[in-house]
Structure 1
């Protein structure tokens, strides 16, 4: 029997789980000897049964004996808010476990080994690439012990975030600005520096086309030691503001991880963006490019610690999205030692990328 079809069902179930927070989205399907589905389950968040236990709970006692459990993530092997799934599967009498990708957690990993020791047949790596992509930010958090960090900026084609006098309202158009709000909503926290708060007084909310608040709001985080006016717009955010009174980014991301944030969206100005890049604390870049030229000194990035061409920080482009007259370029760092050809090329040939030049619009969405 091939396991791709039931694994895709498990992956569909996993998508029902919460995409935010420190727990992964996991789906599980229990099959009988003929491959028929006995039960399905998925993880609904911190403190709730894991996908395997959720599926097992839908069967009568002994109903899973001899069954195959198909689960997107290697069953956990530790006591946390709930017990280890490896032990639950063994106790239920499951004869085979098929999983998609390994659990990289230092404490939670090892479920496959425990199952094998108990005589359960274990098959791993089914649809691994698809599941790794699905769990991308969570896997980074689990492996590195910190949130997945997206750094965003908007600039002209010549790399300027503002005109020479500092004005930047607006560089990108309405479609690009709305895409930023969608990215905000998909994040646990939105991070800026005190300089951005003092200069732009942003609300740091995620808003719809008509300016209404979107259903999920990122927690605003302000980095820096300067005082913020008591009437600043950020204080009217639906979520309480977190003030990180330090410039030590390692300390900041450790604190955000401790607070349970999985994905953070860095949307400060060039100083903060450059600091994250220089510190090697960027997992993904969201670069909005407008078809306009500004010239002058207001670069989107400043000093990132590159003194010669050999130290350049290479990126791999994930995709290019056209947003009205603008582009969103998503990219990730190329690991040290890899070549510039890592990953698949992005084909934008023949695309009418800039049909007309829109009125310049600013970078900060507020």
Structure 2
């Protein structure tokens, strides 16, 4: 028998705990692939935070186990708040549903159900054992946040692709003389590097390498390399110089001798969260193929009047065939704006045309 008197957590308490869990999950992004970046909070029987956990690198414990270990005996009679339904399968680690039962947790609140049939069923196991279980807590924040790419891959079988670009108000990514540094301000560039440190791969074309000689690394504000570096992927049939900075030892690099979008994604099948950074022709090819799942558009308060467009050859020839997106968020970052957009049509996961 459990001797603890159970505290009835208020909606505000659970919401606050989920926000902490989401933050923990976000901090794990980039280190957990192919596993989902999950966050968990354990509240003791009095409703106080006893443990916080996040998914560890593959082979390590899941978020619930980390949080339970931190909570120790305080978990008995307590509540777990988790961003993803606790798993119910024996993989490299045991099922989190059983770990929660063994710890004596009496209530579990999670945001999103697990779409993986091999891992799903944890909620049912918990309910069968008499645990109070609810779902949907801050589900949209989790689906748009730390689990966005993983959920996409589970549902579609392919990596989640974000097209990121920086442009002026008139849609130019470079001036008429080819110069492009710097269209956006330092705050936006710092944000880009912070996001890179959470990715599996960054994709560019050979034209971008030849024109800009980018490093494509994730760097800290002091210029040092971040702890996690995404794989640098260069796409195209042309050659790049042997001394190109993208070939240095700062991060792994993959050269793909193809221009076919689906061949690129097939080669990246082991990855979950992929960023498309350049240039306009490659972006156009991904857009035309319906393989852009999100756009991150950094808009600078500049007008050039001429120069390179942010995208070309996207397969649109009339206004009726325009590729339509809807905005999820608009942020002010220094002097610039960051628009986050997703395809306007979701009935067919492989199409974003209206």
Shorter-chain TM-score above 0.5: yes
Choose the corresponding residue for 2:127, options 116, 134, 139. 116
Out of 38, 50, 55, the residue aligned to residue 25 of structure 1 is 38
38-47 vs 80-89, greater mean Cα deviation: 38-47
Q: Provide Cα deviations, 1:69-128, integer angstroms capped at 9, x if missing partner.
A: 332321112222212112333444544322222222232222212323344332222232
Per-residue CA deviation, residues 143-190 of structure 1 (Å, 9 max, x unaligned), is 33333322122333322333456x133361442444443443343322
CA contact (8 A) 1:103 1:109 kept: yes
Which of 304, 310, 321 does residue 311 from structure 1 map onto?
321
> 2:292 maps to what in 1?
282
Of 10, 14, 23 in structure 2, the residue corresponding to residue 15 of structure 1 is 23
Deviation of 1:3 (Å): 4.3
| 8 Å Cα contact 1:194-1:224 kept in structure 2 | yes
Once residues 98 and 80 of structure 1 are traced to their aligned partners in structure 2, the CA distance between those partners, rounded to angstroms, is 23
TM-score (norm 2): 0.80
Residue in structure 2 matched with residue 331 of structure 1 by the alignment = 341
Q: Aligned partners of 2:95, 2:131: CA distance in 1, in Å?
A: 15
Task: For CA contacts below 8 A with separation 6 or more, give which structure has more relative contact order.
Answer: 1
Change (3 A) 1:104 1:4: farther
Query: 2:351: which partner in 1?
Result: none
- What is the alpha-carbon distance in structure 2 between the residues aligned to residue 120 and residue 306 of structure 1? 53
Unpaired runs of at least 5, structure 1: 339-366
Q: Counterpart in 2 of 1:362?
A: none
Take 1:188 and 1:249, find their aligned partners in 2: how far apart are those partners?
17
Rounded to whole Å, the distance in 2 between the matches of 1:64 and 1:177 is 42
Aligned partners of 1:53, 1:208: CA distance in 2, in Å? 30
| Pairing 1:116-195 to 2, within 5 Å after superposition | 116-135=127-146, 136-164=148-176, 167-170=178-181, 172-175=183-186, 176-195=188-207
For 2:5, the equivalent position in structure 1 comes to: none
Structure 1 equivalent of residue 268 of structure 2: 256
Contact 2:22 2:142 in 1 (8 A): no
Query: What's the C-alpha RMSD, in Å, of the aligned pairs?
Result: 3.1
Aligned residues: 331
- The change in CA–CA distance for 1:328 and 1:54 in structure 2 (over 3 A counts) is closer
* 2:13 corresponds to: 5
Report the alpha carbon displacement of residue 238 of structure 1 after superposing the two structures with TM.
0.7
1:44 pairs with 2:52: no
Q: CA deviation at 1:192?
A: 0.5
Shift of residue 279, structure 1, vs aligned partner: 1.8
State the secondary structure of the residue aligned to 1:161.
strand
Check conservation: 1:7, 1:71, Cα contact below 8 A: no
Once the two structures are superposed, what CA deviation does each residue of 1:285-320 show, in whole Å capped at 9, x if it has no partner?
122334113336x42212222233333222223204
- TM-score of the superposition, structure 1-length normalised? 0.77
Aligned counterparts of 1:24 and 1:95: Cα–Cα separation in 2: 24
